[in-house]
Amino acid sequence: MQRDGKKAEEPGWGGNVVNIASLRRQNAPYIIAWILYYTWVVAFATWWTASPAADTAFTVQLRGLMHLVNLISSAVFVFFIRKEQFVITTRVGAAAIAAGMAVFFLAPDGDIRLAAAVISSVAVGCVNIGLLMPFVFTLNNTEKLCAVVVSNALIQLVSLLLELNAGSGRRFVLECVVSFGILGASLFTILFLRKPDAAGEKKEIQPPVPQFHRRIYLTVLFNCAIAILCKGAGKGILDVAAAGSPMPLLIWYYAGGLVGGAVFILVYAFVGKAFVWLGNITFSTVAMGILCNAFAPQVPGFAVSFAVLLGIGSTVGMINMYYIIGVVGKKYDSMRYLRMSILFIGACGGISGVAVGSWIGTSGSFGIFMTASVVSAAVMIFFMLTSPVIAGAEYENDWGKDSHHTDIGQEDPFRKYGLSKRETEVCGLLLQGYTMRQVSGILSIAYSTVNTYCTSAYRKLGINSRTELLLLFREYAAK
């Protein structure tokens, strides 16, 4: 709901987050590193894209182990890596991955190869968190959207390429070449990462940070459900269906993923309350897909519908998951939210999803398969029906509107009072806890000038002191 009689900004290509003109050249290394690295991790080092029937460099069992180690190490590193350490952390982790993968492919002994894969997966967790820091706290929303959409599209394309060659002797060599190519490019890009203000760039005045409400953690629950149901149980059901179907279901699944990326962009470009719509699309498409699969034995064509719908829902859910983490984390400048997200979504949701999916995929029991299908569909429908509750929390806490803009805080709390840009900056810094003398130094203006701006701003706000300013905007005052 909009407050104070303000009209909501209409969604469109030029007015919201879907606007490539908002991409900034100085942040290109962060975006490119995220796209290439995330593509390599998901396409080659996770269970999510493992091909059970293909001759691959990374077997399904090995991918499952690497995925679990990666999730656990990410959950550990996020509690120890600070925001300002992301450059050195990422570079050290990247060097460890490169060394581990070289040993994995060159060592003749199976135990050494296994140890190298595990060590590389630990390093993957380190790099995950290192790249997550600038993704959340440095990139604007348009850059975040570009990073997650393009990386997911590249994952689908790489996976399609590999699946199209699954029945040929070229698959193994192709996987090695593409894997090392993308990994090498991502590690090379990491060399160009630097802190945002390392070159003496003028630091932007950040909007005041609002109070963080516990109900925002509903987003963690929502994202955890995506990891368990869509990427876990859904992938396990897909593997069983693909093994028993003459149709190339994995190819249709990745094709659906490409459609899912396009759907995400279109929703944010033209639809208001995008988070609600995308949540419903995620759970409804996956639930419908699983229900289609239940009737596939009678109507074989339904198996293709299942694969496409699962691909759409899973991809929309994954893009939305990372985008939500990025928007909320930056909106509230909250390392605590980021840590809880990685702990519960990654370590709990991700591990549970891999475990559930692997159990379904290897059980070989039709009864378990059908039971899992029905239960998964029922739970997804439940989340779809309860999405208005999550939507209420989202808009009550006002991060949903921010997700439609190119960056956080474009709807500043002072706008309706007609404050000038300088008056807004001064009041924002006062709310962050700075004294007037400190504000003078930060903005490089005289103390008397700061006092003049304060007097003018207080008059427009209808107050007489800083104490009244803090009371009027107590939700934005520094804690």
* pLDDT tens digits, 320-337: 999 999 998 998 888 999
Look up the pTM and report it.
0.79
- What integer pLDDT is reported at residue 388 of this predicted model? 59
- What integer pLDDT is reported at residue 216 of this predicted model? 79
- What integer pLDDT is reported at residue 283 of this predicted model? 83
Average pLDDT score over the chain: 81
In angstroms, the CA 236 to CA 357 distance is 4
Over the stretch 448-479, which tens digit does the pLDDT of each residue have? Answer: 999 999 999 999 999 998 888 888 877 665 54
Q: Is residue 198 predicted with pLDDT exceeding 90?
A: no
Domains located in the chain, CATH noted:
20-204 (1.20.1250.20), 212-411 (1.20.1250), 415-472 (1.10.10.10)
Per-residue tokens: 323: 């985008």
Lowest-confidence region among 19-28, 228-237, 251-260, 461-470: 228-237
- What integer pLDDT is reported at residue 224 of this predicted model? 81
For residue 398, count CB atoms less than 10 angstroms from its CB and return exposed for 0-12, middle for 13-18, buried for 19 or more: middle
Q: Is residue 14 predicted with pLDDT exceeding 60?
A: no
- For the segment 142-160, the average pLDDT, to the nearest whole number, is 95
Which residues are CB-neighbours of 422 under 8 A, at least 6 positions away? 443, 445, 453
Lowest-confidence region among 80-94, 124-138, 340-354: 340-354
Over the stretch 356-367, which tens digit does the pLDDT of each residue have? Answer: 666 666 665 556
Per-residue tokens: 452: 């003049």
Q: Are 159 and 49 in contact (CB under 8 A)?
A: yes
- For the segment 410-425, the average pLDDT, to the nearest whole number, is 76
3-state secondary structure string across 345-404: HHHHHHHHHHHHHHHHHHHCCHHHHHHHHHHHHHHHHHHHHHHHHHHHHHHHCCCCCHHH
Q: Is residue 199 predicted with pLDDT exceeding 50?
A: no
Q: Is residue 15 predicted with pLDDT exceeding 70?
A: no
Q: Under DSSP, is residue 200 helix (H, G, I), strand (E, B) or coil?
A: coil
Name the pLDDT band for 428 (thresholds 50, 70, 90). confident
